[in-house]
Amino acid sequence: MFHRPAAVRRRTAAVAVLGLVLAFTAGTSSATPRTRPVPRPVTHVGSAPGSTTALAGYVIRSTAEVADSPAAVSSPGYPAAGWYAAGPRSTVLAALLAAGKYPDPFYSANQQKIPAADFAVPWWYRSDFTVADTNSRTYLDFSGVISAADVYVDGKQVAAKDTVTGAYTRHELDVTDLVRSGTNTVAFRIQPNNPDKDLTMGWIDWLQPPPDRNMGIVRDVTVRRGGPVALRDAHVVTALALPSLSSADLTVKAQARNDSAAPVTATVSGTVGQVSFSQDVTLAAHETKSVTFTPAFHPQLHLTAPRVWWPAGMGAQPMYDLALTATVSGSTSDRAHESFGIRDVKAPLNADGARQYSVNGRPLLIKGGGWSPDEFLRWDRTYVEDRLRYALDLGFNTIRLEGHIEPDEFFDLADRYGILTMPGWECCDKWEGQVNGSESGDKWTAADYPVAKASMAAEAARLRDHPSVVSFLIGSDFAPDKTIEKNYADALSAADWRTPVVSAASDNSAPINGSSGMKMTGPYDWVPPGYWYNKQEGGATGFNSETSAGPDIPTLDTLRRMLSPAELAALWQNPSAKQYHRSPSATFATLKLYDDALAGRYGTPTGLDDYVRKAQLAQYENVRAQFEAYGRNAKDASKPSTGVVYWMFNSGWTSLHWQLTDRYLDQGGAYFGAKKANEPLHIQYSYDNRAVTVVNNRTTAALGLTARVTLFTTDGTRRYDRTVTGLDIGPGGASTTALTVPASVSGLSPTYLAKLVLTDTGGREVSRNVYWLSTKPDVLDYAHTDWFHTPTTAYADLKGLSSMPRATVTATGTTAEGPDGTSTTTVTVRNTGSGTTPALLTDVHVVDAHGTPVLPVRWSDNQVSLWPGESATLTATYRTADLHGSAPRVRVSGWNTPTATIGLHSPAEALWKKGTPPGGDVP
């Protein structure tokens, strides 16, 4: 994740992997375990060849509390008294939290009270499944074991921990000879995890690591049934004609394996949509052969006018389905299914050595964020989908996964929504231990190389058909050495991996894949907004794989959910206080850099509310500037920007840094700053040269636009006003400079406001942007840049904002329920003041009857700034159920606007109040 000198780099790591539990909870307020009987999950497995059934769940217990032998524990009928229930994908701690054993670990320092010693020994995972007959062959198929396991079925050991090791390795165990008709048992003895010693997952410095280090089983364990011939590794290699997109060639591949002791001839037939194909394959006893269908021998696999998959905003996201069947003597032996998309991805290095992605022949600026799963790896599809929808709402096209490579459903959702994904291995633990010098992570032993290669093979096979996956990063802070890279390359080649492979997320090279074309220059802590426009360090040039100005203080609602009163007091009063909810890293233990800048630019906070409102203002301007700078520079002739990944998109727990949306999916200044910067057609101000630029991210040109720029003192007095007409901007990220604001404007106050408005040929407002600026610039000390920030030696003077007169904002609105379980609240906010003072950064929250924000929510716009007489109509869409039966209300607040909460009415009620009943006639 970070590349910096070992002398200053100290990171606390813990292991994490993908995970699920029965209920996605953050723990309960009770520390007393439930006393009711623990349900014993039993999975009913069908007999149909080709069927795959995931185990429904487990009961778990520490081996320190189980004296019985593995043979007894793994035998049907074992009582398992006093064991805990666990979901089908669950870490140990996730199960214990669901059982109520510990209080909410997301609140205060509760997590520190969970004894890590409880997880220093292996834990048993036990599950029963039933089989009606034993005529079909039976296999256990799984990955996601953290960190290793001995595996037993019906009292017999079927695999050992030196084989079942590594979070990503995949295992198929033929248990046909052990399985009996009726109830069967599988048991895993899960080993403790240490990411410095095991090729698993760690949290690095993202958050306080969980005490169990995520030991457990975090992907499905499935029971597969089949006949004598098994189909495995089914996939499709696509070749799209460029630039016409008029045709595509499909090559279908699979492995046919004879699991019987006699020769056999199987017919392998398949379909892709309306296209069908077939061939026979003869197999000796226990032989495996590749089965390939190519357009050369099956012309129907040459598609004309294919349905091409595009990233969101560039086109549609159609998917194709492959279905294969192996039959022997007229009977089905096995089936395989796979979804895939047709698209082309390339990522060559440009003239400056930066990686430039293109999809289907169209170059695009990568705009995204770093992804974090839940800290306890609890999978919740709805929660994940909510966050991916937020990514689209922010105008993102990409999510980067540094380790913590999510389950299949994540990539299915990314395919559906058109969100590009960049998975890869993580830094700062065993994955880079062989190449990162004296930093954390043990050196590799001979046993680690095959585990790493098997991990690469398994993930490549799992991800290759997802059109959303556009790269795999085989290194993060460091590139692999030639031996490790060769193993990865061989595994990728064997899996028919066709999308770009990147050596590292940092500016490093590897012998086979060459230069990464990426930079990891930070920053990771506070820098001023103008930093992003300088084409040095982390500024807007090249491909920055992870970067942000560090802290992202959440809303006051969230802060009160996550911090104790004493912690809330320290948050605003003591910049040097260690913040447990920031990071385990000593570098990021406090908020001092951030707090010093907040006080230096905006003035010393006078209370918690004042601290939070200043934080939202600061985060809005900084995040907006980061994305605006990269957007403006994307088409530059010299050192263009090609990609930027905000570090991070979200947090896996209740955090004070590296998040655009918080754990509870609330949205503050950072979120709406990013949303504003990435709007499809956007007018923006450049901190470096005062240029007013229009950026067009749409797929069509924008013609005949008018840009107006007005500068005001903080009391709303106009000091500069200029309009430029007839602006034409091409599509696909093109930009044009409308005008340049003079370096000096008479009568401006040290703190002043800039209002930018873009209108179309009909005079309709299509983009609006308001900046708070200073005649005194921030001064950066690049000579003393370190790995995480560039010092600021003088701050811009924005203290004048504190003396802005109060503005009066009124709000009216209605709520309507949709047919799909959602509601839409429409709110019109209006500055009704009689003077000249604008209402700066007016925020609207939909709340329930208790004043609790309704989350998640997607706003058309928010945190708007309004001059007297101006209004804005905003819409918010959310799940009706999240109101918990209460009527929605809206809470309006702002920089210089008092907070007020108002009730809403349905559209019918609003009409009635105007004198027209729902039927239409006046009574």
Catalytic residues, which ones? 477, 546
Instruction: Find all residues with CB under 8 Å of 173, minimum gap 6, and list them.
Output: 139, 140, 141, 151, 153, 158, 159
Q: Which segments of 691-733 are extended strands (E)?
A: 691-696, 702-713, 718-729
Measured CA to CA, the distance from residue 138 to residue 154 in angstroms comes to 13
One-letter amino acid at 424 equals G
Measured CA to CA, the distance from residue 375 to residue 120 in angstroms comes to 19
Helix (H), strand (E), coil (C) string for 433-468:
CCCCCCCCCCCCCCCHHHHHHHHHHHHHHHHCCCCC
Is the CB of residue 868 less than 8 Å from the CB of residue 835? yes
Q: What are phi and psi of 162, to 5 degrees?
A: -75, -10
Counting DSSP H helices and E strands in the chain, the numbers are: 12, 51
Is the CB of residue 543 less than 8 Å from the CB of residue 643? yes
- What is the SS3 assignment for 139? strand
* Residue 563: both structure tokens together: 């911090």
* Locus of tokens 């004048």: 800
Give the burial class of 663: count Cβ atoms within 10 A of its Cβ; 0-12 exposed, 13-18 middle, 19 or more buried. buried
- Degrees to nearest 5, angle at CA 122 with 116 and 127: 120
Measured CA to CA, the distance from residue 485 to residue 721 in angstroms comes to 58
Is the CB of residue 411 less than 8 Å from the CB of residue 463? yes
Measured CA to CA, the distance from residue 324 to residue 290 in angstroms comes to 14
Where does 482-555 have alpha helices with state H?
A: 482-494
One-letter amino acid at 81 equals A
User: In sequence order, what are the beta bridge partners of 16?
Assistant: none
Question: Which run of H or of E encompasses 845?
Answer: strand 839-847
User: In sequence order, what are the beta bridge partners of 721?
Assistant: 710
Sign for the CA dihedral angle at 551, 555, 559, 561 comes to negative
Is the CB of residue 343 less than 8 Å from the CB of residue 310? yes
Closest C-alpha to 175, from 147, 146, 155: 155
